[in-house]
Chain A
Amino acid sequence: MIYIYYLLVLGFLATAAIGLVASWIDRKVTARVQYRVGPPILQPLIDIVKLLGKETLIPAGSSKITFLAAPVLGFASVVVVSTLLWLNNINFNQSFLGDLIVVLYLLTLPSISIIIGGFASRNPLASIGASREMKLILAYELPFILAVLVPVIQSGFSIKLGEILNFQAQNGAIIGSLSGVLAFIVIAMCIQAKLALVPFDMAEAETELIGGPLVEYSGSGLAMYKLTKNMLLFVLPFFCMILLMGGFVFSGIHIFYGILKYIGLVALITVIRNTNPRVRIDQAVRFFWGPMTIIAIVAVILALNGL
């Protein structure tokens, strides 16, 4: 019973609320960087409510069930990931062995749902966007998993998020070490690519592919994709916090520190997004398989040597 409570209240409601506020922060900071005023705080919520009330159009000749089921797949996986993360963060011993691997797999599913939806919608622009998204997954998964190995190695080869958090609670955050800093750089870049934000948004390029894989989606399907993306804006920095920065501690001054860590990560993502142009897909693959993989391998070697 307690797990259903975690799933609904923390996994869905809290994550969605924090994610919507985070996406408002993102839009507001973007507006301020461009010397504009920016939208009011409830704007992301109003967008979702409006999209839920719109008509859902299904393109002629598309695969209807796949087209409608794809957004649900991504949304469900994000809810499960955030439930697992909250569970581990609240009580270190509540989870099962190997949940880190489950989280890594489930974090790929939102991108895969975008690919499925793009190919199911029978639109050439959506197909191009979906194929770019696929190449991007191939590009960033390698350095991401290598960087995730650093906290695993440092906490004595444990693949349980609770044990990684427990290790950090006793020995200080992993980002304090040299290999932790290198892993953080790689994970920050991979978060940017996983969120499909500006240096790596070639899959959804608004000006070039008019929305990419989402071009045929309208109404509730689009609302679900938007909500999934807003929730990922909370889940991915939270995952990074758990792996490298000791998670979110619910006691005294540490609550304040936790909020600061999260807002700092969101601000970092927004600043990267606002100060960079979009790169081509081949440049992105080269970037991730070249410098990022090398940095990640160096971090892993340093971690194996205890640095």
Chain B
Amino acid sequence: MSFKLKALLKSPWVFHLSTGSCNNCDIEILDCLTPRFDIERFGMLLVGSIKHADVLLVTGSVNRNCIPRIKDVYEQMPRPCLVVAIGECSLSRGMFIHSYNCPLPLDKVIPVDVYIPGCPPRPEAIIAGIVKLIGKVKKSITKK
């Protein structure tokens, strides 16, 4: 088990799911792939299909139409897998907290491993969040 997770931490392939965000967080995620930050150094790749992914990045407020689809996508991801919530909207619904259309924050829908706050979070913050995620998984390996 731990060997699998170690290999996963060295090459986490990322699937990017936007549940109705304003696109700012999505642009910041794409910024991480640019020459300035270049997360391919750590083996991270942006993949197009959820079946290839190890990490699910969710941006945007979770609205009523999206909830069944988020669950669908989460169930289709091959285990072991991790979930990262990016941006104020998916963390706590942000400015849509009183909206009729956003009943729940993301972590009430699917289990979330790391929260990255910000509106939008800077690429540095996203990378710092991923580093914390890797540290957390490493700690859980040594505990077992």
Per-position binary interface string of chain B over residues 50-90, scored 1 when its CB falls under 8 Å from any chain A CB and 0 otherwise? 01101000000000000000000000101110000000000
Residues of chain B within 8 A (CB-CB) of A207 are 48
Residues of chain A within 8 A (CB-CB) of B48 are 206-207, 210-211, 215
Establish whether residues B40 and A50, one from each chain, have CB atoms under 8 Å apart when the complex forms.
Answer: no
Q: Does A47 contact B (CB under 8 A)?
A: yes
Using a CB-CB cutoff of 8 Å, which residues 54-100 of chain A contact chain B? Answer: 54-57
A interface secondary structure, majority: loop
Q: Does B43 contact A (CB under 8 A)?
A: yes
Residues of chain A within 8 A (CB-CB) of B35 are 34-36
Per-position binary interface string of chain A over residues 192-223, scored 1 when its CB falls under 8 Å from any chain B CB and 0 otherwise? 00000000000000110011001111110010
What's the Cα separation between A215 and B15 when bound, in Å?
13
Inter-chain CB contacts under 8 Å: number: 78
- B35 to chain A minimum Cβ distance, whole angstroms, is 4
Establish whether residues A53 and B49, one from each chain, have CB atoms under 8 Å apart when the complex forms.
Answer: no
Q: Does A176 contact B (CB under 8 A)?
A: no
Contact A53 B4, CB 8 Å, known A34-B35, A216-B51, A222-B52? yes
Establish whether residues A49 and B52, one from each chain, have CB atoms under 8 Å apart when the complex forms.
Answer: no
- B13 to chain A minimum Cβ distance, whole angstroms, is 8
Residues of chain B within 8 A (CB-CB) of A34 are 35
What's the Cα separation between A62 and B129 when bound, in Å?
38
Residues of chain A within 8 A (CB-CB) of B40 are 27, 31, 36-39
- Interface magnitude class on chain A: 20 to 34
Residues of chain A within 8 A (CB-CB) of B128 are none
Using a CB-CB cutoff of 8 Å, which residues 1-28 of chain B contact chain A? Answer: 3-4, 7-8, 10-11
Residues of chain B within 8 A (CB-CB) of A49 are 7
Residues of chain A within 8 A (CB-CB) of B54 are 50, 54
Q: Does B38 contact A (CB under 8 A)?
A: yes
Residues of chain B within 8 A (CB-CB) of A222 are 51-52
A-B contact pairs, 12 of them (CB 8 A): A27-B40, A31-B38, A34-B35, A36-B35, A43-B10, A50-B4, A54-B54, A55-B79, A56-B78, A207-B48, A211-B47, A218-B52
* A interface residues, Cβ below 8 angstroms from B: 27, 31, 34-40, 43, 46-47, 49-50, 53-57, 206-207, 210-211, 214-219, 222
Extra 14 A-B pairs, beta carbons < 8 Å, given A210-B49, A216-B51 = A37-B40, A38-B38, A40-B43, A43-B10, A46-B11, A50-B4, A54-B4, A55-B78, A57-B76, A57-B78, A207-B48, A214-B52, A215-B49, A218-B52
